[in-house]
Chain A
């Protein structure tokens, strides 16, 4: 809720209230603490005034909890090396299967817009790479 399109538009707090009203179950205000408080206060006020019914909030909470119960188990997260290698052979999140699929998706997503004289794929050449070092990434 803190991207400028929201925070500089409707505002993070009012955006949070309207998101709940629109049926959103999980609202993330994960950058500034002041905005977290503003959003909590705005939602609190909307519940007090009846703009949001308590049942809506309870329903959202229940659905988030159900999702966590279904998908988030610490026991499934591999911590030991042996468990990691076993896990990689599974079909779970981050497994070799997923890595292969992710590579396949990247291959389809990344686009070669121009390849004059079929310069790529290149073979046995000396190459130099210039890469820009990023100090700070700003999102507008």
Chain B
């Protein structure tokens, strides 16, 4: 049953970060991310200073966990923004920075992006 607003159907974390910081590369993956996507992004991750990953209610050993771990193996500077359930951290103990937004509305993601960059409104 789909009960939430359709306008939330596009995930805009990338847009929120890019608006704060222009030299950001955005990669959108499926939910759940496929094996192919995971293998592609882990190669990319090593080429950047910082990697920000938006998660959406992680479960033990699911594809999102695999995605984050694959990135972490190639780049330790991983920032996870949990955009729905605040318990994602329990499944991702290694990541050095972890932020909860509790929701994935644009203003929430924008605020998280600003926190990462030390910006104010």
Verify A31–B3 contact, CB threshold 8 A. Answer: yes
Q: Count of A-B contacts with CB under 8 A?
A: 169
Given contacts A110-B108, A131-B26, A131-B29, 7 further A-B contacts (CB under 8 A): A121-B115, A127-B21, A129-B14, A129-B52, A130-B28, A134-B8, A138-B2
Is A136 in contact with B14, judged by CB distance below 8 angstroms? no
Taking Cβ atoms with an 8 Å cutoff, the residues of A that contact B are 2-4, 31, 100, 102-103, 106-107, 109-117, 119-123, 125-139
> How many residues of B are counted as interface, with CB atoms below 8 angstroms from the partner's CB atoms?
64
Does the CB pair A120–B55 fall under 8 Å? no
Chain B interface residues toward A at CB < 8 A: 1-4, 8-14, 17-18, 21, 23-31, 33, 41, 44-45, 47-56, 64, 67, 71, 77, 79, 86, 89, 95-102, 104, 107-108, 110-112, 115-119, 121
Q: What are the residues of chain B within 8 A of A129 when measuring CB–CB?
A: 13-14, 17-18, 24-27, 51-54
A100: B residues at CB distance < 8 A = 121
Q: Which residues of A contact B25 (CB under 8 A)?
A: 126-129
CA gap between A130 and B79 in the complex, in Å: 10
Q: Measured between alpha carbons, how far is A128 from B46 in the docked complex, in Å?
A: 10
B residues near A130, Cβ cutoff 8 Å: 27-29, 41, 51-54, 67, 71
A137 B96 Cβ-Cβ under 8 A: no
Which residues on the B side are within 8 Å of A119 (C-beta)? Answer: 50, 77, 79, 96-97
Give every chain B residue within 8 A of A137 (Cβ-Cβ): 2, 4, 8-9
Chain A at the B interface: SS class: mixed
B71 adjacent to A120 (CB under 8 Å):
no
B33 touches A132 (CB 8 A): yes
Asked if A110 and B2 make an inter-chain contact with CB atoms under 8 angstroms apart, the answer reads no
The contact sample of 29 A-B pairs, CB cut-off 8 A, is A2-B1, A103-B107, A106-B107, A106-B111, A107-B115, A110-B108, A112-B97, A113-B99, A114-B95, A119-B79, A119-B96, A121-B115, A122-B49, A122-B50, A126-B48, A128-B48, A128-B51, A129-B14, A129-B25, A130-B28, A130-B29, A131-B29, A132-B31, A132-B55, A133-B11, A133-B30, A135-B9, A137-B8, A139-B3
- Tell me the nearest residue of chain B to A139, going by C-beta: B3
B116 proximity list for chain A (CB < 8 A): 120-122
Least Cβ–Cβ distance between A116 and chain B, in angstroms? 4
Contact B11 A139 (CB under 8 A): no
